[in-house]
Amino acid sequence: MLVRKMPIFNANQLVKIGTKIFSAVGVPLEEATLVSEFLVKANLVGHDSHGIMRVIQYVREIEEGILKPGAKIEIVKETNSVVVINGNWGFGQVIAKKAMEKAIEKARGSAVSVACAFNCNHVGRLADYTLMASKNDMIGMAMVNAPRSVAPFGGKERMLSTDPISFAFPTNMGFPFFVDIATSVVAEGKIRVMLHKGEKIPLGWIIDKDGNPSSNPEDYYNGGAILPLGGDDAGHKGFGLGLAIEVLCGVLAGAGCAYMETKRGNGVFFEVIDVNKFMPVEKFKNEVTDLLKAMKSSKPRPGFKEVIIPGEPEHLTQRIRLKEGIQVPERTWEEIKRIAEKFGLDEKSLLGDICA
């Protein structure tokens, strides 16, 4: 689909485009495909900030030598229930997928397992990994930390990362049930989107460099900070969760904490629990399904149409995008083409066999 301005691709085409560019940059084919698949999966469910646009960032990081495609994944510690991985700065997706596979394998034996990783680049959406566990009838839990962006409760300097946490559980709901949230009031991507749109953000998302509340997204990028989940009233809660995640990902996983100037990439803490070691999987799934159905049956508050289950919006978006394709914003598409060209792929050779 060679629409000039706002191209629309199907998922398959986008994966091939990503794979082609990464391959041109010298990424081993298997990694190029895997990373592209992860990115397009994010597009499919509506999280474009974690989608194909990341190709631009990753290629830049490869050029800078920060991201090392094909890096050897080293297991530095391994027991029946624990694995600690040195990712040697390969693709975060490659490292995190390996870590979750290990955790699932170990949980099958030990009922509960932990997999940590350090020297790991951006892993993308956490739900991609926790859903690997739930697809195996296990409970997945994931946390990562990253460079600083969030102020501690009452502080005005960036000291924590958005410290996301994800859970996924097997159900019979007909869509994947997962939680995937930053423990800050908002993820950085949403501020960037508003900046690009030239719109104000709600008060309570950020403070400016002097620690004052601001609705101007630029203030974040001029030395401001994101606030922890809970706001002025309950921000100690988001701060507490963020600290716990910094300890698990920064200290226990050995990836360094957000407050450190040298911090980069994602510290990874994964955990898997094998449901089957506790109770029959079908009983578990039925009871979780009953729980979620009870929520869905809840009468909405004035101003709300219905109660939305975590995972539901992504499922609805995916249904639409599988049918209608994924729209890539003009600016993103221009940048992707520019990068492809730099590595010898003009638009024709980039799209030729893909969008014939």
**223 vs 163: CA distance, rounded Å:** 19
Considering only residues 253-282, where is the footprint of a second copy by CB under 8 A? 254, 257, 259, 271, 273, 275, 277-279
Considering only residues 22-51, where is the footprint of a second copy by CB under 8 A? none
- For the CB of residue 35, give the shortest distance to a second copy in the complex, in Å: 27
Q: What is the signed CA dihedral for 284, 311, 52, 64, rounded to 10 degrees?
A: -70
The backbone region for 233, taken as left when phi is positive above 0, alpha when psi lies in -120 to 50, beta otherwise, is alpha
Could you say which of 302, 344, 348, 353 contacts a second copy (CB under 8 A)?
302
Could you say which of 28, 46, 231, 329 contacts a second copy (CB under 8 A)?
231
Could you say which of 7, 58, 310, 318 contacts a second copy (CB under 8 A)?
310
- For the CB of residue 344, give the shortest distance to a second copy in the complex, in Å: 44
Nearest CA to 92 out of 42, 17, 153 is that of 42
Nearest 5°: CA angle at 126, between 122 and 130?
A: 140
Count of CB atoms situated within 10 Å of the CB of 178: 24
- For the CB of residue 263, give the shortest distance to a second copy in the complex, in Å: 11
Q: How many residues bind a second copy (CB under 8 A)?
A: 86
- For the CB of residue 32, give the shortest distance to a second copy in the complex, in Å: 33
Q: Which is nearer to a second copy, 254 or 325 (CB)?
A: 254
Strand, coil or helix: 52: coil
Are 177 and 171 within 8 A, CB to CB? yes
Count of CB atoms situated within 10 Å of the CB of 195: 15
Name the amino acid, one letter, at 123.
Answer: V
- For the CB of residue 83, give the shortest distance to a second copy in the complex, in Å: 10
Considering only residues 59-118, where is the footprint of a second copy by CB under 8 A? 77, 79-82, 84, 110-114, 116
**257 vs 237: CA distance, rounded Å:** 19
Q: Which is nearer to a second copy, 174 or 302 (CB)?
A: 302
Considering only residues 124-183, where is the footprint of a second copy by CB under 8 A? 139, 151-157, 159, 165, 167, 169, 179-183
Q: Which is nearer to a second copy, 169 or 220 (CB)?
A: 169
**301 vs 297: CA distance, rounded Å:** 12
Considering only residues 185-214, where is the footprint of a second copy by CB under 8 A? 185-186, 202, 204-205, 207, 210-212
